[in-house]
Amino acid sequence: MSKPVSVDFQFSIKQRGRGAKKRIVEGAAQSDESKPALERIPRISRYMALAIHFEDLIRQGVVTDYADLARLGHVTRARVTQIMNLRLLAPEIQEELLLDEKNCDDRAPIQLKSLQFIATVFSWRTQRKLWDNRN
């Protein structure tokens, strides 16, 4: 017979505004003044990091396929595929997506949709040419 298990966990509920969705956040509630200012990370950089993380989860056997990732992330399998397609990009493009701080400030943000075509090109050399000529 197994013993009952108890878990202690602190959380707070945050609401962004009237009628907005509420979020459960790990840890005790903090006032806004005590939060350090976080640097804004471009969405495409977060997607690139997520694709790398997803690939690692699959490689380690934590999840078996994209469908598992979609269920866990509450997104469609198509969205997971779009994110994972970033791993088909040339390594230099992936690195630039991860490290490019200019993306936030002085030009329009790079959209995931705009990278889907480049990711379908087989040759990394051609991908780099398309990437360099995107603007």
pLDDT tens per residue across span 121-135: 999 999 999 999 886
Residue 37 inside a domain? The answer is no
Of the CA atoms within 13 Å of residue 80, those in its CB half-sphere come to 18
Task: Look up residue 101 and give its DSSP letter.
Answer: T
Total structural domains within the chain: 1
Residue 75 inside a domain? The answer is yes
Q: What is the pLDDT of residue 59?
A: 94
Residues spanned by the domain of 74: 43-132
Give 5-33 pLDDT, tens digit per residue. 665 666 666 666 666 666 666 666 565 55
As a whole-number percent, the residues of the chain with pLDDT over 70 amount to 65
Residue 54 inside a domain? The answer is yes
Residue 81 inside a domain? The answer is yes
- Residue 5 CB burial class (10 angstroms; 0-12, 13-18, ≥19): exposed
Residue 4 inside a domain? The answer is no
